Amino acid sequence: MSTAPRAPHGWLDTSWSRVLATALVVLACAWLALARDVHPAQPLLEPEISPLPSGSAGCRPRGSDALEHAHTLEQVAAARWERVPFALHEAPRAVAQIAEAEACFAAANDRSGRTRAAAARRSYAAELERRFLRARLLLRAALRQQGTPEHAWPASFFRWRAERLAPASHAPRASAAIAREQVTILLALLDRAPPSALPYRAELEQLARRYAADALPGSPSNEHGR
């Protein structure tokens, strides 16, 4: 009969506990790393913010009046859309009017008109969202170049004291110009945005005022840029 000493059960329990704890730590680290990849830092404009007009479009006229109103709205929306390259605020207005035209075609039982208006609405809305996304990404990149910390975007950005922000003298003037331009674009594209976008629109307006103040003669950033 062997007399070799056996390892105490307590030691085995402790060893397995350490292995289990180490495994849990590794798994937790892996999960956090994956979470950072799946959920990167929030962009300047939150994903749920949409430039599309809120609410479902309705049609007040009925019968022949609805059909006439639908044709008028369709023409006005098309004219607005043609002006979008020169006046971005026309984009959300065109989307709202073509949606109303679609509703009026439906009220007048004009199937072809409704199909045509629906196709135009989808096209307008897709382009509006594309422009919105592009401006959002460009603004995010410009703010990063200016040294604005991403964790401060957007809600806490304006609660920072001015001296805690990266000085304008350290930021490329080109990035400030890009940011100012994108803020103007985003405000125009949010012209018919739903109420949920109002707080963000207010922040953009505040940022626009800040850039306007920096551009005034005698401002510190303007003096440095001379």
Residue 81 lies in a domain: yes
- Please give the model's pTM, rounded to 2 decimal places: 0.66
Residue 136 lies in a domain: yes
Residue 27 lies in a domain: no
Q: What is the pLDDT along the chain (226 residues), one digit of tens a residue?
A: 455 455 445 544 555 555 555 554 455 445 444 444 433 333 444 457 889 997 777 898 888 899 999 999 999 999 999 999 999 999 999 999 999 999 999 999 999 999 999 999 999 999 999 999 999 999 888 888 766 555 445 543 443 333 334 444 444 567 778 888 999 999 999 999 888 888 889 989 988 888 887 766 655 555 444 4
Provide the terminal-to-terminal Cα distance of the chain, rounded to the nearest Å.
95
96 close to 192: Cβ distance less than 8 angstroms: yes
Residue 181 lies in a domain: yes
Residue 6 lies in a domain: no
Residue 4 lies in a domain: no
Structural domain including 178 reads 64-224
Residue 42 lies in a domain: no
Question: How many angstroms separate the CA atoms of 67 and 115, rounded?
Answer: 14
Residue 26 lies in a domain: no
Number of domains in the chain: 1
